[in-house]
Amino acid sequence: MKAAILENFGSHLSVGALPDPVLGTGEVIVDVVAAGVLPYTAEVVSGKRKYMLTLPAVPGAGAIGRVRAVGPDATRLVVGDWVTCDPTVRSRDGGLTPDITLQGISARGDGGVRLQQYFRHGSFAEQMLVPTENVFPIGAIDRTEAGRWTVLNVLLVPYGGLLAAHFKAGETLLLSGATGNFGSAGVAVALAMGGGLRRGAGPKRGHVGGTDAPLRLSRADSKTHRRRK
DSSP string, 132-146: GGGEEE-----GGGH
**47 contacts 22 by C-beta, under 8 angstroms:** no
The mean per-residue pLDDT over the stretch 154-162 comes to 93
Tell me the CATH number of domain 2-143, given options 3.90.180.10, 2.60.120.10, 3.40.960.10, 3.30.379.10.
3.90.180.10
123, 61 in Cβ contact below 8 A?
yes
pLDDT of residue 225: 39
What pLDDT is attached to residue 175?
Answer: 78
Indicate the pairing of strand 14-17 with strand 2-5.
antiparallel
Neighbours of 163 (CB within 10 A): 12
| 95 vs 202 pLDDT, higher one | 95
User: For position 221, what pLDDT does the model report?
Assistant: 43
pLDDT at 67 over 50: yes
In the chain, where the domains are located: 2-143, 153-228
Surface-to-core class of residue 143, CB atoms within 10 Å of its CB (0-12 exposed, 13-18 middle, 19+ buried): exposed
pLDDT at 227: 44
Q: Is the separation of the CB atoms in 18 and 121 below 8 Å?
A: yes
Mutual angle of helices 181-192 and 219-228, in 10-degree steps = 100
pLDDT above 70 coverage of the chain, percent: 85
Q: Is the pLDDT of residue 111 over 60?
A: yes
- How far, in Å, CA of 184 to CA of 229, rounded? 16
Binning pLDDT at 50, 70 and 90, where does residue 81 land? very high
pLDDT-derived band at 212, boundaries 50, 70, 90: very low
The pLDDT of residue 198 is 66
Region 89-104: what's the mean pLDDT?
92
Q: What dihedral angle (degrees, nearest 10) is formed by the CA atoms of 113, 119, 125, 128?
A: -170
- pLDDT for 172 equals 86
Q: What is the rounded average pLDDT for all residues in the chain?
A: 87
Distance CA 218, CA 198 (A): 10
Whole-number percent of the chain with pLDDT over 90: 73
CA distance 112 to 93: 12
Does 155 have pLDDT greater than 70? yes
Residue 222 pLDDT greater than 70, yes or no: no
Task: Tell whether the model's pLDDT for residue 1 goes beyond 90.
Answer: yes
